Amino acid sequence: MGSLALLPLGELLDLMARRGVTGSLTCERGAVRKTLLVRESAAVGASSNDPREYLGQLLINFGHLTEEQLARAFQTQEETKVRLGKVLTMVSLVSADVVRQVVAIKIRETILDVFGWDSGVFTVEEGSPPLADELDVSVPLADLTREAEFRATAWNAFRAAFPSGSCTLAVEQKTVPVSMGKETVDGRLLAAAAEGKSIDEIGLVLHATDFHLYQRLFALSQQGIIRAVPAASAPPQGAGEVVAASDLLERARRLLAEGHCAEAEEAASRALELAPANAAARGLLAEAQRGLAASLRSGLEPAKVPRLLVPASEITLLKLSSAEKYLLSRCDGSRDLRRIVQVAPLSELEVLKALRRFVDSKVIEVI
């Protein structure tokens, strides 16, 4: 175990590669947890609690699946108890080669994000990773380190062109190639941009990780197809009350003991922002989130279907986050809550909290 601030990830992976480690590497910062499975100096699998890094989300992002197809695959997975990649090849939705390619991307996306962390903790456990099968992949740890160096340079270029996710995009229609039809990933991106969606909103529509989204945006800008339109500046915020992480943790414990899970989750989350490596804060946040999720599920049954109670024209007048706008677009009466939770590039708790706010504010009804 150790701190990523003291032993950077690149040095840690180099050490694991030289030792030929077989086992797992888990990195945690705040509420984010990522695990890399390693066999003899190569990554063979990965898991993350960031929904955008799930296999299904990546397959949607790269145009190999639709949300509807992923929902059906999840249903088959529940019935067969077979892992998702195998289900997709069994029902011929995705070829084995494509699954292997995207699993390799999943491994990269899961761990390369950690190179950008300025704090966090890691745990290396030696042991046996899962047995190899026909969908197995192998990504050398040295390749991950080299790609991280490339991405650091790429991000500087991306941010210079697109400084904020709140920016919208101007599309130069005359320069759009015929090959970028609406059925292509870039075509869907341009269609969302033409609708006035912000970069953050486009990322949710495409189910894209940050790097792949900005990589596409930068390529399109280099071709003269799009450019960023800066968002209006937000009014300056006051300094507010300065609260110590320890005080927030004590408040979260008290609220949790009193059964106020939502308020406890908020306090624990703020404490973890102030102290990202605090294990007590992470544990308390997880406990509060479990309690809050259970409470929200009791009023939002999976088989119920949400539908809008307000005209679509009024939605544009509401002050909504990118995630809330995405979720409202799915509340069209054709999807039940289970399906929305399964295919959204958001955590279950984020989805449930947003839907509860929509119900309470009479924006949707659940029937």
Residue-wise pLDDT tens digits, 80-104: 888 899 999 998 999 999 999 999 9
**DSSP bridge partners of 47:** 35
**DSSP bridge partners of 103:** none
Q: Do both 219 and 171 map to the same domain?
A: yes
Q: Do both 146 and 167 map to the same domain?
A: no
DSSP string, 41-108: TEEEEEEES-GGGSHHHHHHHTTS--HHHHHHHHHHHHHH---HHHHHHHTTSS-HHHHHHHHHHHHH
Q: 322 near 206, Cβ under 8 Å?
A: no
Looking at the domain assignment, is residue 239 inside a domain? no
Give the tens place of pLDDT for each residue, 23-58: 999 999 888 999 999 998 899 999 999 999 999 999
Q: Which of 325, 337, 328, 263 is nearest to 299 (CA)?
A: 337
Q: Do both 203 and 254 map to the same domain?
A: no
Looking at the domain assignment, is residue 266 inside a domain? yes
Q: Do both 187 and 274 map to the same domain?
A: no
Distance of CA 5 to the CA centre of its chain: 24
CA distance linking residue 109 with residue 11, whole number of Å:
18
User: What single letter denotes the amino acid at residue 296?
Assistant: L
Share of the chain above pLDDT 90, in %: 67
Residue ending a domain, choose from 276, 298, 320: 298
Residues 6+ away with beta carbon under 8 Å from 3: 119, 120, 121, 122, 277
- The pTM is what? 0.83
279 vs 240 pLDDT, higher one? 279
Give the tens place of pLDDT for each residue, 173-212: 999 999 998 889 999 999 999 999 999 999 999 999 999 9
Residues 6+ away with beta carbon under 8 Å from 174: none
Looking at the domain assignment, is residue 171 inside a domain? yes
Domain of residue 272, residue span? 245-298
Q: Do both 120 and 68 map to the same domain?
A: yes
Predicted pLDDT of residue 292: 94
Return the structure tokens found at 310. Answer: 């307000």
Return the structure tokens found at 180. Answer: 């970028």
Please give the radius of gyration of the chain, using alpha carbons only, rounded to the nearest integer: 22
CA distance linking residue 130 with residue 226, whole number of Å:
44
Looking at the domain assignment, is residue 234 inside a domain? no
Local structure of 304: helix, strand or coil? coil
Q: Do both 187 and 275 map to the same domain?
A: no
Q: Do both 204 and 315 map to the same domain?
A: no
Looking at the domain assignment, is residue 197 inside a domain? yes
Q: Do both 95 and 223 map to the same domain?
A: no
Burial of 150 (C-beta count, 10 Å sphere; 0-12/13-18/19+): exposed
Provide the pLDDT confidence category of residue 236 given band limits of 50, 70 and 90. low
- What's the mean pLDDT in 274-282? 84
Q: Do both 122 and 217 map to the same domain?
A: no
19-25 contact pairs (CB < 8 A, 24+): 21/124, 21/126, 22/126, 22/127, 22/128, 22/129, 23/124, 23/125, 23/126, 23/127, 23/128, 23/129, 24/124, 24/125, 24/127, 24/129, 25/111, 25/122, 25/123, 25/124
Kindly tell me if the per-residue pLDDT of 232 is higher than 70: no
Residue ending a domain, choose from 298, 317, 333: 298
User: What single letter denotes the amino acid at residue 252?
Assistant: A
Per the structure, how many domains does the chain have?
4
Share of the chain above pLDDT 70, in %: 96
Predicted pLDDT of residue 238: 46
Looking at the domain assignment, is residue 94 inside a domain? yes
